[in-house]
């Protein structure tokens, strides 16, 4: 059927529709987007959505994307952040056409301000911050015009030049656009476009003491670069009339702004301000704590660029506030890791078993990844004494418990079928050891025993095991939407978001673990090596658990 191919095409999001329409109408030969971070913090997965949108759009339609740092506020911005932002974007796998800075345009922006002054569309205001706020009016009442609103162009020019020359203190004077003090849009009530800041800028140093505000920098920067589609988040909708106003009055290239909803995910918070609190108040170790939804945190946690991009693709682009279910993110990373991760056996909470009818040691073969037809195979040492997971044995098992129990049989993964003969207890009644027997004909790959078992367990040989540290992460918050709960969001932090297992027992193959490799600890979850470890004591982060239908089954009781 000819229509099948078309049917499989993903439908367009509203921004893609706009782009296709613009291209079809011949409005632009090709598109140019931009990603405009402010270098005052680390990127998070919300930014990843924006990055994927901006860069993805350009890729899809044969355009380009600029990386432009929106560095108009010298007091909060720093080169440290510039570097981390660039690293994160590269890690996600995107390349920008040009690395640019709003501060590159300071001289041009200054010229733009002069044009406005000459047109009688901007004026220097001596009012104080409080007076300006009072003049603004309220959403339901119009504002009052500043007494300085009607200065002559010449006077304004001189005053503005003096501002630049450093003749005034911070707050003494500002430059305002002359728009409309009665506008129903508060942002149009003569917005401030330049303020005095005697501060050192991370790139321009002490060259300037006046800095443009966002509204006077962003749109013009877009225009200077010839950005065709300037995509930002919903809270800028009300800035759009101003964005267009400056472009119109300045008669410069008409970049167009489009807005989409920022990303929210259940059990997370998503703002630099909140991250800062979490770090400063030691709820997490740092910005790259694996529980943080920062790109650096997620990278350390073991997320892959592909999984994040796939997630961004699946959630779509929308014009309304959304709260994405965390399980979708988990699905995306599991889907990716299932195909890539090397399988290894690690016992988290050991229970020793002795195979009473087995002696010596042998090397068994086990697949590195059963999802891969051409999988490599590794050796796993098997011997008389093994560790299994304590939770894989129950003396009095409930129905549908497929694991070990007295008299019950299970398969040891890639090894033999064993039967539990006896549970040894200490004088307090705790089970300290299991006596089992194995079935020699049941060896993995050459099983002639004819025995069917329901369960398969992971295990490690006591004599060959290495100990590793495991860091098990869980959601950072106990509630779906911590920002919308009563009180402080930090009241809802999950106290069990990190569980450390100092000594887990791992099969020896894990000794060769590498940082860029991903692992699935069989029946447990996906893990990756953490930078905190050493040769002697490796540390692994749990990226995500495996789906666990047995855990669900248990909860029902």
- Give the footprint of RNA on residues 497-556 (CB under 7 A): 520, 522-523, 546-550, 552-553
Which residue stretch of 53-61, 70-78, 250-258, 348-356 sits at the interface with RNA (rule: CB under 7 A)?
A: 70-78
x-marked contacts with RNA along 373-402 as a string, rule CB under 7 A: ---------------------------xxx
Residue 133 interacts with RNA (CB under 7 A): yes or no:
yes
Q: Minimal CA–CA distance to 171: which of 186, 192, 200, 143?
A: 192
344 belongs to the catalytic site: no
Name which of 289 and 366 has its Cβ closer to RNA: 366
Q: Which of 58, 89, 284, 324 binds RNA (CB under 7 A)?
A: 324
Residue 171 interacts with RNA (CB under 7 A): yes or no:
yes
Question: What number of other Cβ atoms are within 10 A of residue 255's Cβ?
Answer: 23
x-marked contacts with RNA along 206-235 as a string, rule CB under 7 A: -----x-xx--xx---------------xx
Residue 557 interacts with RNA (CB under 7 A): yes or no:
no
CB of 425 to RNA, least distance (A): 22
Residue 491 interacts with RNA (CB under 7 A): yes or no:
no
Q: Identify any residues that bridge with 260 across adjacent strands, giving them in sequence order.
A: 233
Q: H/E/C letters for each residue in 211-255?
A: EECHHHHHHHHHHHHCCCEEEEEHHHHHHHHHHHHHHHHHCCCCC
Listing DSSP states for 306-321 in one string gives HHHHHHHHHH---SS-
Max Cα separation, the chain? Answer: 102
Q: Determine the 3-state secondary structure of 461 from DSSP.
A: strand
CB of 532 to RNA, least distance (A): 26
Given a contact cutoff of 8 angstroms between Cβ atoms, the answer to whether 69 and 101 are in contact is yes
Q: Which of 64, 86, 136, 249 binds RNA (CB under 7 A)?
A: 136
CB of 412 to RNA, least distance (A): 8
CA distances from 67 to 39, 72, 95 (A): 12, 15, 9
Residue 239 interacts with RNA (CB under 7 A): yes or no:
yes
Given a contact cutoff of 8 angstroms between Cβ atoms, the answer to whether 66 and 225 are in contact is yes
Given a contact cutoff of 8 angstroms between Cβ atoms, the answer to whether 203 and 71 are in contact is yes
Mutual angle of helices 45-60 and 305-315, in 10-degree steps: 80
Given a contact cutoff of 8 angstroms between Cβ atoms, the answer to whether 95 and 116 are in contact is no
425 belongs to the catalytic site: no
Name which of 119 and 169 has its Cβ closer to RNA: 169
Given a contact cutoff of 8 angstroms between Cβ atoms, the answer to whether 36 and 71 are in contact is no
- Measured between alpha carbons, how far is 304 from 430 in angstroms, rounded to an integer? 42
Please identify which of the residues 16, 38, 313, 422 carries the catalytic annotation: 38
Name which of 195 and 518 has its Cβ closer to RNA: 195
Name which of 253 and 402 has its Cβ closer to RNA: 402
Residue 175 interacts with RNA (CB under 7 A): yes or no:
no
Tokens of 146: 């500043």
CB of 265 to RNA, least distance (A): 9
Name which of 155 and 170 has its Cβ closer to RNA: 170
Name which of 289 and 341 has its Cβ closer to RNA: 341
Name which of 152 and 318 has its Cβ closer to RNA: 318
In the block, residue with structure tokens 């932002």: 85
- Measured between alpha carbons, how far is 243 from 187 in angstroms, rounded to an integer? 10
Q: Which of 31, 82, 92, 196 binds RNA (CB under 7 A)?
A: 196
Residue 100 interacts with RNA (CB under 7 A): yes or no:
no
Residue 186 interacts with RNA (CB under 7 A): yes or no:
yes
Residue 44 interacts with RNA (CB under 7 A): yes or no:
no
Residue 200 interacts with RNA (CB under 7 A): yes or no:
no
CB of 206 to RNA, least distance (A): 17
Reported for 360-369, long-range contacts at CB under 8 A and 24+ positions apart, including other chains, are: 360/384, 361/461, 361/463, 361/464, 364/414, 364/415, 364/443, 364/444, 365/414, 365/444, 365/445, 366/413, 366/414, 366/444, 367/343, 367/414, 368/342, 368/343, 369/339, 369/340, 369/341, 369/342, 369/343
CB of 217 to RNA, least distance (A): 7
Residue 258's contacts (CB-CB under 8 Å, 6 or more residues apart) are: 15, 18, 229, 230, 231, 232
Mutual angle of helices 305-315 and 79-92, in 10-degree steps: 80
Reported for 547-556, long-range contacts at CB under 8 A and 24+ positions apart, including other chains, are: 547/334, 553/400
CA distances from 18 to 14, 15, 228, 398 (A): 6, 5, 11, 59
Name which of 83 and 532 has its Cβ closer to RNA: 83
Which residue stretch of 152-160, 281-289, 331-339, 529-537 sits at the interface with RNA (rule: CB under 7 A)?
A: 331-339
Name which of 285 and 368 has its Cβ closer to RNA: 368
Residue 440 interacts with RNA (CB under 7 A): yes or no:
no
x-marked contacts with RNA along 251-270 as a string, rule CB under 7 A: ----------x---------
Q: Which of 325, 421, 433, 474 binds RNA (CB under 7 A)?
A: 325
320 belongs to the catalytic site: no
Please identify which of the residues 49, 272, 334, 523 carries the catalytic annotation: 272
Residue ranges in 339-358 that form contacts with RNA under rule CB under 7 A: 343
Please identify which of the residues 136, 149, 262, 475 carries the catalytic annotation: 262
Element (DSSP H or E) covering residue 554: helix 549-555
Residue 335 interacts with RNA (CB under 7 A): yes or no:
yes
Residue 461 interacts with RNA (CB under 7 A): yes or no:
no
Name which of 197 and 478 has its Cβ closer to RNA: 197
Q: Name the residues annotated as catalytic.
A: 38, 262, 272
């Amino acid at each position: 059927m000819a229509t099948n191919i078309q049917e499989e095409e993903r439908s367009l999001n509203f921004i893609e529709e706009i782009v296709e329409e613009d291209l079809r109408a011949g409005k632009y030969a090709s598109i140019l987007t931009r990603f405009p971070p402010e270098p005052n913090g680390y990127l998070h997965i919300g930014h990843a959505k924006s990055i994927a949108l901006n860069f993805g759009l350009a890729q899809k339609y044969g355009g380009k994307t600029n990386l432009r740092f929106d560095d108009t506020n010298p007091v909060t911005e720093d080169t440290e952040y510039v570097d981390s932002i660039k690293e994160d974007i590269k890690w996600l796998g995107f390349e920008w056409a040009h690395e640019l800075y709003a501060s590159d345009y300071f001289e041009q922006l200054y010229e733009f301000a002069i044009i406005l002054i000459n047109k009688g569309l901007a004026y220097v205001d001596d009012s104080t911050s409080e007076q300006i706020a009072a003049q603004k009016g309220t959403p339901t009442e119009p504002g009052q015009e500043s007494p300085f609103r009607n200065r002559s162009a010449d006077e304004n020019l001189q005053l503005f030049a003096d501002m630049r020359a450093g003749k005034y203190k911070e707050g003494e004077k500002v430059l305002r656009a002359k728009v409309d003090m009665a506008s129903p849009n508060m942002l149009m009530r003569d917005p401030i476009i330049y303020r005095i800041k005697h501060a050192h800028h991370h790139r321009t140093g002490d060259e300037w003491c006046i800095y443009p505000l966002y509204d006077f920098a962003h749109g013009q920067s877009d225009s200077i670069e010839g950005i065709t589609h300037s995509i930002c988040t919903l809270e800028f909708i009300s800035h759009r009339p101003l964005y267009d106003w400056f472009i119109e009055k300045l008669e410069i290239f008409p970049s167009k702004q489009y807005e989409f909803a920022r990303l929210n995910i259940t059990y997370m918070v998503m703002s630099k301000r909140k991250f800062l609190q979490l770090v400063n108040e030691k709820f997490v170790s740092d910005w790259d704590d694996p529980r943080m939804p920062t790109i650096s945190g997620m990278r350390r946690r073991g997320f892959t660029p592909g999984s994040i991009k796939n997630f961004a693709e699946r959630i779509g682009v929308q014009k309304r506030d959304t709260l994405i279910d965390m399980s979708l993110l988990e699905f995306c990373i599991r889907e990716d890791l299932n195909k890539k991760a090397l399988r290894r056996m690690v016992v988290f909470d050991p229970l020793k078993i002795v195979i009473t009818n087995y002696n010596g040691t042998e090397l068994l073969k086990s697949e590195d990844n059963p999802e891969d037809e051409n999988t490599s195979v590794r050796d796993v040492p098997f011997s008389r004494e093994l560790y299994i997971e304590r939770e894989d044995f129950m003396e009095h098992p409930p129905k549908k418990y497929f694991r070990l129990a007295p008299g019950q049989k299970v398969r040891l993964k890639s090894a033999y079928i064993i039967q539990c003969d006896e549970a040894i207890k200490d004088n307090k009644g705790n089970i300290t050891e299991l006596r089992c027997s194995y079935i020699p004909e049941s060896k993995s790959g050459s099983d002639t025993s004819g025995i069917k078992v329901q369960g398969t367990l992971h295990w490690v040989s006591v004599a060959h095991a290495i100990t590793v540290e495991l860091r098990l992460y869980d959601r950072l918050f106990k509630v779906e939407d911590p920002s919308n709960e009563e009180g402080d969001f930090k009241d809802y932090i999950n106290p069990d978001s990190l569980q450390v297992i100092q000594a887990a027992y791992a099969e020896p193959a894990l000794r060769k673990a590498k940082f860029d490799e991903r692992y699935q600890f069989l029946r447990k979850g996906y893990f990756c090596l953490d930078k905190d470890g050493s040769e002697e004591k490796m540390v692994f982060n749990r990226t995500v658990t495996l789906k666990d239908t047995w855990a669900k089954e248990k909860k029902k009781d």
